[in-house]
Amino acid sequence: MSEAPLMRPLPVITDMNSYFWRSGGEGLRILRCGGCDRYSHPYVGRCPSCGSRDVKPQTVSGRATVVGFTVNHQPWFPHVPVPYVIAYVELEEQSDIRLATNIVNCPVEDVAIGMKVKVVFEKQDDDIYIPLFEPA
Amino acid sequence: MYREKETCITGIGQSAIYRKPTVYPFTLALDACEAAIADAGLTPADIDGVACHPLGSSMVGEGNASASPTDIQKSLDLKLTYYGSGENAAQFSPVLNAIAAITAGYCKHVLVWRAMGERWIPMYSHGFKAAVLPRSVSWKVWLEPFWAPSASNWVGIHASAHMHKYGITREQMSAIPIVQRRNAARNPKAIYREPLTLDQYMDARMVSTPFCLYDCDVPCDGTTAVVISRADLAKDMRQKPVFFEAVGGGAQGNIGDWVSRPDFPDMMMHDAAKMMWSRTDLKPKDVDTAHLYDGFTYLTMFWLEALGFCKEGESGAFIEGGHRISPDGELPLNTNGGQLSEGRMHAFGHLHEAVLQLRGQAGDRQIKDAKVSVSGVGGGGLGGAVLLRAD
């Protein structure tokens, strides 16, 4: 984690997403059903698989696989050096839990579909921890 | 009975299209709306419904929605029994809403438009260059914090997965911008009309892989408008009506969600296409011209697969070399040059061109005996499709 991370457009924190963004950097938290153990993301108030209302955040392993990525070359944000990688990763616990993220601590040209990665957090303002992924 | 068949497009209008606008975008919206009403042989007093995507604010001037229903209504002095802006089929939402309103009996003639003013009021340059970045809301919270503000990033990720799975190449992709640029030479309104070569394509700077500059559509200012009418009224109207044979929209995946769809890399377009074909006896082989969203080349390729013009994973082979999708091919595609050449009229340029083809009014671009056209818009978390027929 760098001393002064580059500024990002931060999410508006709501009661539906604070568990995810304000993890304290301790681990990636995803909602899980107490009835059938299925994970859901983003927020649900009822498990879409079994109908239970017993859905709570649970810390997951943070291990995932890259399933798609783009190397962004366009300087949308003048303060952010390009190129950088935006990827979708699927969590080890359940493959249909998919997150957009940046792949960090890895040369851009080394990122590949199927690559195993693990979560690393970047602390931003407002107590927000951005889950990024690096090679596992 | 699928009641979209009781409705039709009776008027179309399009403003000038500007890469470097010298005219305020709301003025362009008025040009298009007045032209569409006149084309239908109507006056503003005959318009009793409006539908628009998106609603925009009640204030004129947002770049991505430069003419709101409020402002158009006031300027044209419309007396309405229906107005709507709900989302259900991406940029074709107002088309589906208009059809629903007409068949429910709320109104007879609905004015629908898409007003683009992104050049006058740029989308990205203000907010992301500010000292304090804007906070992200709604579904964008899952993308923007990762410096992924653009659909080029989102579609690029989907494209990478699809290319990886099926071995599709950028050389294959190049057929779409190259063929469409050739088509644009016959469209006086198109922003870019000079030929595009494979070398130019392969040497172009990258925006967000696999998309280079020529895979991305061209932001522009301009408005396209259509009048949608009750079909039984159309027989006495000025133009030959173009009928809705079938429409598709809805959401089998989560609304607006680009990331979480279980069948990734499929997108909402696959749902819209499936719904559309479920509402007609016509088949892909019956389609004479295709007008498919090309915000990025790969969206068009996903549409070709979703609509069943080729099998899943075969869009690269289908378009390779451009023969099948050229005006003399089996499926003439984006005959006006599409958004990659004409400019980002945000799906309504495609709809406008489909109507011209089916009326036989496409001039140098006319596809002989065009009777059935399809248009699909969106991808990702939104999608809409319409199947149109000449009679």
Query: Per the domain annotation, does B29 fall within a domain?
Result: yes
Confidence of residue B330 (pLDDT cuts 50, 70, 90): very high
Task: Give exposure, B155-181, as e/b (b: 16+ Cβ within 10 Å).
Answer: bbbbbbbbbbeeebebebbbbbbbbbb
Closest CA relative to residue B261, chosen from A130, B269, A34 = B269
Q: Which of B157, B207, B216, B302 to mutate to test the interface with A (most CBs of A within 10 A)?
A: B157
Please write the tens of the pLDDT for every residue from B265-292: 999 999 999 999 999 999 999 999 999 9
Distance from CA of B236 to the nearest CA of A (A): 51
Does A25 map to a domain?
yes
Determine phi and psi for B294, rounding to 5 degrees.
-135, 45
Q: Domain for residue B358, yes or no?
A: no
Task: Judge whether A7 lies within some domain.
Answer: no
The minimum CA-CA distance between A99 and chain B, rounded to whole Å, is 7
How far is CA B104 from each of CA B3, B87, B242, B249, rounded to the nearest angstrom? 10, 18, 20, 18
Dihedral sign, CA of B48, B53, B56, B61?
negative
A4-27 pLDDT, tens digit each: 899 999 999 999 999 999 999 999
d(CA B360, CA B367): 8
Mean pLDDT of B13-17: 98
Neighbours of B213 (CB within 10 A): 14
pLDDT tier at B3 (50, 70, 90 boundaries)?
very high
Contact A88 B157 (CB under 8 A): yes
Closest by alpha carbon to B223, among B102, B351, B46?
B351
Q: Mean per-residue pLDDT for B57-69?
A: 66
Question: Do the beta carbons of residue A42 and residue B142 sit within 8 Å?
Answer: yes
On whether any CB of chain A is under 8 Å from the CB of B142, the answer is: yes
Query: Is residue B294 within 8 Å of residue B176, measured between CB atoms?
Result: yes
Domain of B88, CATH number, reads 3.40.47.10
A11:B153 CB<8 A: no
The structure tokens listed for B94 are 């107002």
Q: Does ipTM top 0.90?
A: yes
Q: Establish if B224 belongs to a structural domain.
A: yes
Is residue A68 within 8 A of residue B203, CB to CB? The reply is: no
Nearest to B147 among A8, A17, A98 (CB): A8
Per DSSP, what are the bridge partners of residue B222?
Answer: B116
pLDDT at position B68, please? 87
Is B63 a domain residue?
Answer: yes
Is residue B354 in some structural domain? no
CA distance A52 to A46: 6
B135 touches chain A (CB under 8 A): yes
Q: Do B128 and A67 touch (CB under 8 A)?
A: no
Which residue is it, tokens 């924190």? A13
Give the pLDDT confidence of B240-271 residue by residue, as tens digits: 999 999 999 988 988 888 898 989 999 999 99
Measured from the Cβ of residue A133, the count of other Cβ atoms closer than 10 Å reads 28
Gap between the Cα atoms of A42 and B142, Å rounded: 9
Structural domain for B51, as ranges: 3-122+220-234
Mean pLDDT of A72-81: 94
DSSP 3-state assignment of B142?
helix
> In angstroms, rounded to a whole number, what is the distance separating the alpha carbons of residues A50 and A106?
40
User: What is the count of structural domains for chain B?
Assistant: 1
Confirm whether A98 is domain-assigned: yes
SS3 B377: strand
Q: Nearest chain B Cα to A67, which residue?
A: B161
- Report which of A113, A8, A123, A11 is spatially closest to residue A64, judged by C-alpha positions: A113
Q: Chain B: residue nearest A94 by CA?
A: B262
CB contact under 8 A, A9 and B148: no
Q: What share of chain A is helix, strand, coil (3-state, %, to 5)?
A: 5, 45, 50
Query: What HEC string does B23-67 produce?
Result: CCHHHHHHHHHHHHHHHCCCCHHHCCEEEECCCCCCCCCECCECC
pLDDT in tens, B147-204: 999 999 999 999 999 999 999 999 999 999 999 999 999 999 999 999 999 999 999 9
Domain limits at A91? 18-135
User: B340: Cβ–Cβ under 8 A, 6 or more apart, which residues?
Assistant: B176, B177, B180, B181, B192, B214, B215, B216, B217, B218, B294, B297, B334
A101 domain-assigned = yes
DSSP, collapsed to helix, strand or coil, labels residue B75 as helix
Residue of B nearest to A77 (CA): B128
Burial of A81 (0-12, 13-18, 19+ CB in 10 A): exposed
Tally A–B CB contacts below 8 A.
125
Total structural domains in chain A?
Answer: 1
pLDDT, residue A1, reads 47
Express each pLDDT in B96-140 by its tens digit. Answer: 999 999 999 999 999 999 999 988 876 655 567 666 788 888 888
- Least Cα distance to B273 among B241, B245, B307, B299 occurs for B307
Region B56-78: mean pLDDT is 76
Smallest Cβ distance to A68: which of B147, B161, B206?
Answer: B161
**Among A8, A70, A87, whose Cβ lies nearest the Cβ of B133?**
A8
B130 contacts on A by Cβ (under 8 Å): none
Tell me whether residue A1 is in a domain.
Answer: no
**Is B160 in the A-facing interface, judged by CB distances under 8 Å?**
yes
Nearest to A100 among B142, B159, B210 (CB): B142
The answer to the question of residue B104 being in a domain is yes
Neighbours of B353 (CB within 10 A): 28
Longest distance between any two alpha carbons in chain A, whole Å: 47
Question: How far, in Å, CA of B249 to CA of B333, rounded?
Answer: 21
Cα–Cα distance for residue pair B98/B318, rounded to 1 Å: 34
In a domain, A5, yes or no: no
| B213 touches A at CB < 8 Å | no
User: Looking at the domain assignment, is residue B336 inside a domain?
Assistant: no
B219 contact A CB<8A: no
Contact between residue B355 and residue B388 where contact means Cβ atoms under 8 Å apart = yes
pLDDT for residue B58? 44
What's the pTM value of the predicted model, to 2 decimals?
0.96
Nearest Cα residue in chain A from B210: A70
Do the Cβ atoms of B259 and A100 come within 8 Å?
yes
Cβ contacts (< 8 Å) between B161 and chain A: which residues? Answer: 67-68, 88, 113
Provide the CA B62 distance to its chain's centre, in angstroms: 19
